[in-house]
Structure 1
Amino acid sequence: MTMPAIAVQNLNFSWQSDRKILDHCNLDVPKGEFWMLLGANGSGKSTLLRILAGLLQPTSGAVKLTQPLGFVFQNPDHQLVMPTVGADVAFGLVAEKLSMQATKERVSEALTAVGLEAFARRPIYALSGGQKQRVAIAGAIARHCEVLLLDEPTALLDGDTQLDLVRQVRNLVKERGMTALWVTHRLDELDYSDGAFLLEDGRVVEQGNPQKLKHRLQTTHP
């Protein structure tokens, strides 16, 4: 059996000792697949993703992820730090100490993958919300990330742009052999996933076929 690219075992997290945000949470995401994580506000979705990204430390439990990983925030303005598109994607490569030519090639490859190959010199402020999210994703691609974590990346986008971004991420996962975990509350996005988890009160209560999960949620929360 192939080891999962993302494995969460018996994970617990509390801000205060009397209230658990995550409660014996378990999930596995198979390598090369695109899975989604759903749950009501306060169910622990974003907390779980931040633990996976290393931004928070769990109270107890274990997390294993294939490295390197990329993290895409709900609001791209929280992670785009350079004035232009190309400079921002290149900024994430500084630690690798690549040559200038190698850096340019990585940036070009990443921007082409997200359909922004003509935007390298474009100022970040001149981009739409969907374009900013694609720049954030390009940053992960440029670093050759194996795992991509996305925290409600369509929350600030309009309807058509939302589904365009979902389709594009799914295509990138399949074409590049990546693994992705995408947090959402939009049921129509499930149509593009390989599988889904439902989080309630800090633990996974259902997982597997996204259409079955979608039908259940539509029935119980019409």
Structure 2
Amino acid sequence: MIDSPRLETPNPAIRVQNLNFQWPGGARVLKSCSLAVPEGEFWMLLGTNGSGKSTLLRLLAGLLESQSGDIDIRGRVGFVFQNPDHQLVMPTVGADVAFGLVEDRLPQPEIRQRVEDALAAVKLLELQRRPIYALSGGQKQRIAIAGALARHCQVLLFDEPTALLDPDSQRDLVSQVRQLVKNRGITALWVTHRLDELDYSDGAFLLENGRVVAAGNPEPLKRRLMRRV
């Protein structure tokens, strides 16, 4: 049995209540959308094209502003785009991971330590001096994650990060994110179309027509969606 969407989740790191969003002159994308992600867990967000998944994620990241409703997020937020080329801006791996720390005005020794710790966490420390253009798609996504880790983000938002990856890189990335969640106490919300990725999650939401219509254990939700195929 799939749980109904509810907000009584204990210690939520992400809480959305009655969120509404409409593009100027267009239809409403989100309609009284509500969800809650428990702190320190890895949840996934599913739905068909046009259901509002990416819009919801951008609202959570502060890239868009809702017309009404409430968003409450505990801690600093990191956002990982579907295409990492849209967010990797520096010429080398180490420089890119350090780029997000500029606004924090940290001393150079601390910046170097944070960069090394973040790259070690995604198992790419040996690539610190490598040019960004020389990386694979999976490595670029891990560098994007390292940038968020270096900033000490407590909440990570992923907008279909495996959509452009081959199956091996896909499995490697989702597995690594799960390990980071469990080892570091990070909270993650991951948008996906790939039902096999649900196996790595603690829970999942199904978004339809701008509303969360089911939430909870990923296995019943996976079976429900497989019957539709």
Report TM bin, short chain.
Answer: over 0.9
- Separation (CA, whole Å) in 2 of partners of 1:77 and 1:144: 22
**Cα offset for 1:3?**
2.5
**Cα offset for 1:17?**
5.5
1:73-222 superposed matches below 5 A: 73-221=81-229
- Separation (CA, whole Å) in 2 of partners of 1:168 and 1:31: 18
- Separation (CA, whole Å) in 2 of partners of 1:152 and 1:18: 24
1:43-82 superposed matches below 5 A: 43-82=51-90
Q: Which runs of 5+ in 2 are unaligned?
A: 1-8
**Cα offset for 1:2?**
3.6
- Separation (CA, whole Å) in 2 of partners of 1:118 and 1:143: 20
- Separation (CA, whole Å) in 2 of partners of 1:116 and 1:72: 17
- Separation (CA, whole Å) in 2 of partners of 1:16 and 1:219: 36
- Partner of 1:130, secondary structure, is helix
- Length, aligned pairs only: 221
In the alignment, what sits opposite 2:42?
34
**Cα offset for 1:160?**
1.1
Deviation digits for residues 39-91 of structure 1 (CA, Å, limit 9, x no counterpart): 00000000000000000001110100012110000000000000000000001
Name the amino acid aligned to 2:223. Answer: H
Name the amino acid aligned to 1:149. Answer: L
- The alignment's C-alpha RMSD in Å is 0.9
- Partner of 2:69, secondary structure, is strand
Structure 1 runs (4+) deviating above 6 angstroms are: none
Deviation digits for residues 166-197 of structure 1 (CA, Å, limit 9, x no counterpart): 00000001100000000000000000000000
**Cα offset for 1:19?**
1.5
C-alpha spacing 1:121/1:201, structure 2 compared with 1 (3 Å): same
- Partner of 1:81, secondary structure, is coil
- Separation (CA, whole Å) in 2 of partners of 1:147 and 1:98: 21
- Separation (CA, whole Å) in 2 of partners of 1:10 and 1:163: 34
- Separation (CA, whole Å) in 2 of partners of 1:214 and 1:2: 24
Query: Sequence identity of aligned pairs in percent?
Result: 69
Using the size of structure 1 for normalisation, the TM-score is 0.98
- Separation (CA, whole Å) in 2 of partners of 1:128 and 1:215: 33
- Separation (CA, whole Å) in 2 of partners of 1:129 and 1:17: 36
1:11 aligns with 2:19: yes
- Separation (CA, whole Å) in 2 of partners of 1:153 and 1:220: 24
